[in-house]
């Protein structure tokens, strides 16, 4: 059966993310660097769990940054064991809303997984569907950055993306372009600019 909505891919990437979280030392979990400014891996986990409750964004007046900050603050009140247990439940049991928006959420969890890994100097082989999800997420988020598709023409050199935009040409892997479009810093060495 085809995973049309992307639920199986979402569950698989959430499981991989949780494997990364479990592998961290306590110091890395609590204070490790990520590509998300001012967020440690524990904060990224709290955010991802919180995204599964979209009503929080509605109640927060659709102020995404404020709601994300509240999710992170709430997560900081939990110990590692409790937050990780919630993470395992979130990973294995997507809500009905998660299932309906699985393709979108795959981009969010995939990008944040790379935020944690890259921030800690770790790497992994990125499956093609995950690279494609990171690219889609980057394109979506690029409208809020100076790296938007009106200023840049992005040309992926790996599967999962397609040439988009106009302006100055930027070439790189689908994953690196997606992260860069979303405003992540430190990727310039992986990209070719014309």
Q: How far is CA 45 from CA 52, 77, 125, 139, 154, in A?
A: 12, 13, 21, 23, 30
173-184 burial string, b = 16+ CB within 10 Å, else e? bbbbbbbbbbeb
Q: With 70 as the cut, is the pLDDT of residue 2 above it?
A: no
Kindly report, residue by residue over 5-42, the tens digit of the pLDDT. Answer: 689 999 999 999 999 999 999 999 999 999 998 999 99
Kindly report, residue by residue over 40-52, the tens digit of the pLDDT. Answer: 999 999 999 998 8
- Provide the β-strand partners of residue 171: 155, 192
Terminal CA-CA length for the chain: 43
At CB < 8 A and 24+ separation, what contacts does 97-100 make? 97/52, 97/54, 98/7, 98/10, 98/52, 99/5, 99/7, 100/5
Mind spelling out the 3-state secondary structure of 91-140? HHCCCHHHHHCHHHHHHHHHHHHHHHHHHCCCCCCCCHHHHHHHHHHHHH
Average pLDDT value for residue range 168-187: 95
Q: With 90 as the cut, is the pLDDT of residue 60 above it?
A: no
DSSP letters for 15-50: HHHHHHHHHS-HHHHHH---SSTT--HHHHHHHHHH
Predicted pLDDT of residue 177: 97
Kindly report, residue by residue over 70-105, the tens digit of the pLDDT. Answer: 989 999 999 999 999 999 999 999 999 999 999 999
**168-172 and 164-165 strand pairing:** unpaired
Q: With 60 as the cut, is the pLDDT of residue 122 above it?
A: yes
Average pLDDT value for residue range 129-151: 91
Q: With 70 as the cut, is the pLDDT of residue 4 above it?
A: no
């Amino acid at each position: 059966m085809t995973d049309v909505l992307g639920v199986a891919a979402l569950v698989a990437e959430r499981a991989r993310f949780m494997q990364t979280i479990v592998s961290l030392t306590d110091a890395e979990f609590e204070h490790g660097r990520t590509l998300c400014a001012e967020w440690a891996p524990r904060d990224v986990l709290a955010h991802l769990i919180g995204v599964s409750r979209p009503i929080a964004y509605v109640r927060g007046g659709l102020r995404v940054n404020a709601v994300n900050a509240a999710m992170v603050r709430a997560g900081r009140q939990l110990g590692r064991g409790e937050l990780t247990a919630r993470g395992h439940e979130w990973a294995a049991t997507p809500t009905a809303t998660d299932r309906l928006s699985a393709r979108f959420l795959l981009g969010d969890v995939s990008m944040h997984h790379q935020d944690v890994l890259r921030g800690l100097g770790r790497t992994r082989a990125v499956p093609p569907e995950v690279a494609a999800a990171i690219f889609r997420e980057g394109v979506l988020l690029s409208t809020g950055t100076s790296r938007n598709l009106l200023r840049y023409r992005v040309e992926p050199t790996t599967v999962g993306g397609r040439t988009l935009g106009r302006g100055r040409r930027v070439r790189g892997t689908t994953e690196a372009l997606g992260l860069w479009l979303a405003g992540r810093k430190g990727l310039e060495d992986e990209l070719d600019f014309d």
